[in-house]
Amino acid sequence: MAGAGILAGITSTVAGLASLVSYPALLAVGLEPRTANTTNTAALLFVALGAAAGSRPELAGQGGRVARFGLATLCGGATGAVLLLTTPARAFELVVPWLIAGAAVLLLLSPRIVAARGAAPRRGPALPLSVFGVAVYTGYFGAGAGVALLAIMAVMIPEPLARVNAVKNVASGFSNAVAALLFTALGFVAWEAAAPLAAGLLAGGALGPRIVRVLPAGLMRWIVAAAALGLAASLAVDAYR
């Protein structure tokens, strides 16, 4: 689990796809799907902690931005966690592949969208509401949520992709934190698996920003988009078969 956590932490901070590694690892050690989902969500909090330590140069001067988006993800994560515990999963299973595929396309198109609308940051409620919506999904399941969050922020925030990615990594931790508290309080977290996974995620989350720092932004977009489209196809096969 610790090894899977390191790989998932790196994958999360580089591509926003930690659950592509961590969730199957939890299933492989014998957890049933719902417990694996809640345990995974709780452990993913430690990616944000590792990313915050590893992304200090990129986070410089962005404290206010992290706080604003952190509040949006906290509220969204709480909403998603409640939905997970009170609603059937079928509706989300059917729509999630399309959301992830759309996020991948949006990420690829983000430079053109930013160039077309100018370099000024977007004002108003669109970005916080979009972040809140992605955080609802993060608290509910979360596979591919990092891609969606990065795509939205890349369009709305006129900063280098590495700086946008750093905000995404830390802000998304708030949604995992509130969901982790709720799932732990209700006894839905298998900490014997979550603890080593969390340790690996912490280490991987700290290593990932170093990779992002040296990756060309264009190459990073294509890597993330390709991985997201692969995940969307896999989830679509599971949902529609």
Q: What is the pLDDT of residues 63-92, one digit of tens each?
A: 999 999 999 999 998 998 888 888 776 666
Average pLDDT over residues 19-30: 86
Task: Using alpha carbons only, give the angle 54, 141, 104 rounded to the nearest 5 degrees.
Answer: 70
DSSP state at residue 121: P
How high is the mean pLDDT of the chain?
Answer: 85
Q: What is the DSSP letter of 44?
A: T
pLDDT more than 90, % of the chain:
31
Contacts of 118 (CB under 8 A, 6+ apart): none
Per-residue pLDDT reduced to its tens digit, 142-156: 777 788 888 888 888
| Model confidence, pTM | 0.78
- Between 42 and 126, the higher pLDDT residue: 42
Predicted local confidence at residue 124, as pLDDT? 66
pLDDT at 174 over 70: yes
The set of residues, in sequence order, having a beta carbon less than 8 Å from that of 170 and lying 6+ positions away, is: 48, 51, 52, 55, 59, 66, 70
SS3 122: coil
Q: 127 falls in which pLDDT band (50, 70, 90)?
A: confident
* 239 confidence band (pLDDT: 50, 70, 90): confident
DSSP 3-state assignment of 240? helix
pLDDT, greater one: 203 or 219: 203
Structure confidence at residue 119 (pLDDT) = 52
* Side chain identity, residue 142: G
Give residue 140's pLDDT band: very low, low, confident or very high (50, 70, 90).
confident
Distance (Å, whole) CA 142 – CA 13: 14
